[in-house]
Structure 1
Amino acid sequence: MNTVEYKINELFETIQGEGAFTGQPSIFIRLQGCPVACSWCDTKHTWEIELEDKVTKEQIIAKTQETSQWASFSPEQILSLFKVQGFKAKHIVITGGEPCMVDLTPLCQTLEKAGYSCQIETSGTFDVRTTKDCWVTVSPKVNMRGGYEILASAMKRANEIKHPVATEQHVDDLKSLLAKHKVTNTPVYLQPISQKQRATELAIATCIENNWRLSVQVHKYIGIE
């Protein structure tokens, strides 16, 4: 029995809308806490870990809107919850917040042993601690307000690079990062920030020029979580 617990902001079943697993039925585990402070973040309610926001597991399960509330779950409790909720998906997406602030190995071991595949979505600013079979999506956040650097270890561990773009500077930042860490064979996805037309056009042109791939946040276009 694992004694480790994770601070969960929400847990739900949906369709993965980004990156290599776009279209995959998935169970999302959203962890609380992130110091990176991306200006365009759409989950700012997960940034702070406040004790007054700690609630019961039942309250997290019953959530119907975004809040900063969180509850502690062990890996076994998370697995049991999947069965109670009747979730059918076999792919797990661990996100945040910044999930790599904590060691995700016990959680992924428990889930993989039960027949699930695991994916982590991280900013690349913390060491990625997980199982060898876990798919790691690094969405590198360069020069964010939190002041965190992208780690070489995270870039090396990445199975895919998913980069938000709105301007040419974002593209230049990514190219510099890939060159710095000698990333050559990892699939690169460009994701237009906020689905704006100009950002989308830039992403499409850049993908064609560099033989990269486009990630358009399908879940936002079709109006699901």
Structure 2
Amino acid sequence: MKVKTTCYKINELFETIQGEGSFTGQPSIFIRLQGCPVGCSWCDTKHTWEIDPQLQVASDVMLGKTQESDYWSELSIEQILETITTEGYQAKHIVLTGGEPCMVDLKPLCEALEQAGFSCQVETSGTFEIRVSDNCWVTVSPKVNMRGGYEILTSAMSRANEIKHPVATEQHVDELKALLAEHQITTTPVYLQPISQKPRATELAIKTCIENNWRLSVQVHKYLGIE
């Protein structure tokens, strides 16, 4: 009997510096999965939303991309580990992002990566069940009232190691406060992230962080001009 190989649809796989949240400044390997139905209007990775079979390409084409595109490859866990070795990546922290990575079961991938000596982090909207290893660091960036109509899950909020919330207006702050109260979140670190680095959003985030003893996440990679 042939054992089914676990594969993942991947838009990008690259090494950089984590620019957000608790791991800001950490050398990291990003694995960006394809597919997301949440529909955030200000999303900066809209090219990962659709899974179009006609846009599936070979892994070398996906790895060789020099600009954002909706081309994606399907890689097995073994191929992912082999790619990391072949590319000569040195980082030992891996970020699973998207798209919405929690649309699929990430536990086999996390466990294989951890067994190979990596630490894992997943970045999710909190609208899908989080299926990861016990040691995986979970960053929930709750997406409230988005076009896709998905609700934030209590299980996702409870599993979060950190909550990273994009803000541009007072309404975004009010939505977060209501969400924290609804799910009885009191001790999980909260980061506010100004949307698009706009001055007014940044000023609001700073003021709100001081008022609530929250933390600021400024997307350092965008200020540095790196991916």
Q: Using structure 1 for the length normalisation, give the TM-score.
A: 0.99
CA distance in structure 1 between the aligned counterparts of 2:191 and 2:4, rounded to whole angstroms: 35
> Which runs of structure 2 are paired with 1:9-24 in the superposition (5 Å)?
9-24=11-26
1:177 corresponds to which residue? Answer: 179
2:117 corresponds to which residue? Answer: 115
Aligned residue identity for 2:224: I
SS at match of 1:201: helix
2:213 corresponds to which residue? Answer: 211
CA distances 1:18-60 after superposition (whole Å, capped 9, x unpaired)? 0000000000000000000000000000000001000111111
2:103 corresponds to which residue? Answer: 101
CA distances 1:140-199 after superposition (whole Å, capped 9, x unpaired)? 000000100000000000000000000000000000000000000000000000000000
Shift of 1:127: 0.3
> Which runs of structure 2 are paired with 1:57-72 in the superposition (5 Å)?
57-72=59-74
Which residue among 81, 84, 87 is the counterpart of 1:85?
Answer: 87
1:124 corresponds to which residue? Answer: 126
Shift of 1:2: 6.9
CA distance in structure 1 between the aligned counterparts of 2:62 and 2:113, rounded to whole angstroms: 20
Q: Which runs of 4+ in 1 moved over 3 A?
A: none
Superposed CA RMSD in Å reads: 0.8
Give unmatched runs, 5+ long, in structure 1.
none
SS at match of 2:14: strand
Give the direction of change, closer, same or farther, for the CA distance of 1:2–1:94 in structure 2 (3 Å limit). Answer: farther
CA distance in structure 2 between the aligned counterparts of 1:55 and 1:146, rounded to whole angstroms: 27
% same residue: 75
SS at match of 2:95: strand
Comparing 96-105 and 57-66, the one that deviates more: 57-66
SS at match of 1:183: coil
CA distance in structure 1 between the aligned counterparts of 2:112 and 2:13, rounded to whole angstroms: 16
SS at match of 1:37: coil
CA distance in structure 2 between the aligned counterparts of 1:216 and 1:18, rounded to whole angstroms: 7
